[in-house]
Amino acid sequence: MSVALKKGLSKQKKMLHPNSRKVNAIVKQNNKIVKREQMKQTGMMKQNLIREKMLWFKEHMKPKICPYTSELTAELLEKYIARYDEELKTIADKNKVRNKKNRSNASREDILRISKERDEDEYNGCGIEIPNILNSTQCEMLRKWDGDVRYLPNFVFRRFGRRHVEQNKKMLMTNNAPDTESSPAQKDKENEETKNAVKDKAEMDVD
């Protein structure tokens, strides 16, 4: 029984029937309070997870580069995905030395492994949600951020993955490709030269 429900029932001076309207009203109010607290806790946990991710990016960004390019963002994300590799290796080495059937730190190892697999799936799929460091204003804002969750709404987030790198490479190749097609002025000049050549040849044939 929750504290809110105990308080509600303690205010009643006489014994209440379990199915009475007053008891139902108290229970309903208690459920609302419990649900509100659960949503609050969930929101705080989500904020803390976002905060930890943003602090990781801030600490591992290269200095004096703002905004980030697609290539540098991809490089940073690959480091982010591999952030638990050293700890996973340490756990694996300990288990190997002990040579036990029951793994040491099994739950921690599973959490890290599942987290890495999820990050890899997102990176190779729709992309990992990150602060938009490809934007100069957002990039600079992240560098100056002190970690206060109150300022999270000021940040713009976007998804970035392998496909975004490939799209950017294709775009650069297209932009840097030599322009083999003649301009309208060049085409007019070529047409005029062709006409003159035909005219000269016709005059020569008449002569």
State the pTM of this model.
0.64
DSSP class per residue in the chain: --HHHHHHHHT-SS---TTSHHHHHHHHHHHHHHHHHHHHHHHHHHHHHHHHHHHHHHHHSPTT--SPPHHHHHHHHHHHHTTTHHHHHHHHHHHHHHT-SSPTTHHHHHHHHHHHHHHHHHHHTT-EEEE-TTSHHHHHHHHH--S-GGGGGG--EEEE-HHHHHHHHHHHHHHHS---SPPHHHHHHHHHHHHHHHHHHHHHHH-
59 pLDDT higher than 80:
yes
**Mean pLDDT lowest for which of 53-62, 141-150, 198-207?**
198-207
6 pLDDT higher than 70:
no
Question: What confidence tens digit (pLDDT) does each residue in 64-86 have?
Answer: 899 999 999 999 999 999 999 99
